[in-house]
Amino acid sequence: MAISKKIPYMYANLNWKNLEDLKQKEHFVLLLPIGATESHGPHCPVGTDAIIALETCLRASKKLHGVGYEAYVLPPLAYTVAECARNFPGTISLTEQTECALITEICLNLILHGMQKICIVNDHGEPKHVRAIYNAIDKVREQTGIRLGFPDIFRKKYALRLTDAFRKGESHADRYETSLIMAIEPSLVDEEKRKKLRYLPINLADKLFKEHLDEFNAMGMSECYCGDPAAASAQEGTETLAILTDFIVEAVEEMFQEKVYDDKRGMFGR
């Protein structure tokens, strides 16, 4: 996916000579945005997750350039495991094995060409999907000895720094995600529908791990959303984008500092 040159730091807009030069630089790093293509309520686009992941990568890349890193954003991986929304139009779901293989092979190809610093940025919270990312990270390490970066927002160390809306566990087309899209591109949100949505206090972690449900209708999400999207705001989304951007910057700095790797997967990655 190539994007206009007006948007800097896009890997897909470079040529191979650019990349040959960049990979020689000490602080060259690639960011891989990942997000599902799936229904996000009657008010948000099906590309919500990938849009958020791409935007945070672009912001992090700009910030990283400001502190001495050559950070570039890979084309987003917008097809993942998305089984929970499988009964809603717009959803495209891969198997866990296919997604794991995709991420693994993307990273192995980059490493083959000498691009060894790669940070995965994910905004989709389905357990099989998060597990696919961790499994890919393990496979890459087993085959190359290289550890990929992955600031997993569903782990406590990150989640505790995010908004109340996120910590409630109502993170699907909810106030958290809707605010982010409103901050990134408000025209993508159907405001007339959003304002009419009633609050649905559904904790997805409880539904997934305690009740062992794996489909949104069964969870009580008949319109494929939960939480309180009517209370979303662009201001809250802008504040959240800043936090998510910091997560990426910190993860990249830790990669280059070669800090002791914390390989705990958290609840969503088991």
268 within a domain of the structure (yes/no)? no
pTM of this prediction exceeds 0.85: yes
Residue 99's pLDDT band (boundaries 50, 70, 90)?
very high
Tell me the residue range of the domain where 169 lies.
24-252
Asked if residue 171 belongs to a domain, the reply is yes
Q: In this structure, what CATH number is given to the domain that contains residue 30?
A: 3.40.50.10310
Going by their DSSP bridges, the two strands 118-122 and 28-34 should be labelled as: parallel
- Mean pLDDT check: name the lowest of 105-109, 152-156, 160-164, 256-260: 256-260
Residue matched to tokens 């958020």: 52
pLDDT at position 267? 67
| Mean pLDDT score, 113-118 | 96
70-73 sheet: strands from edge to edge: 70-73, 28-34, 118-122
Rounded CA-CA distance 73/167 in Å is 28
Look at residue 270 and tell me if it is in a domain.
no
Q: Is residue 266 part of a domain?
A: no
Per-residue confidence (pLDDT) for residue 8, from 0 to 100: 85
Residue 115 lies in a domain: yes
Q: Is the pLDDT of residue 2 over 90?
A: no
Question: Backbone dihedral region of 41: left (phi > 0), alpha (psi from -120 to 50 degrees) or beta?
Answer: left
Residue 261's pLDDT band (boundaries 50, 70, 90)? low
Is residue 122 within 8 A of residue 130, CB to CB? The reply is yes
What is the per-residue pLDDT for 258?
Answer: 75
For residue 14, tell me if it sits in a domain: no
Q: Per-residue pLDDT tens for 5-59?
A: 667 899 999 999 999 999 999 999 999 999 999 999 999 999 999 999 999 999 9
pLDDT of residue 251: 95
Number of domains in the chain: 1
Residue 265 lies in a domain: no
What's the pLDDT score for residue 154?
93
The dihedral over CA atoms of 167, 193, 124, 213, expressed in degrees to the nearest 10, equals 80
- For residue 183, being part of any structural domain is answered with yes
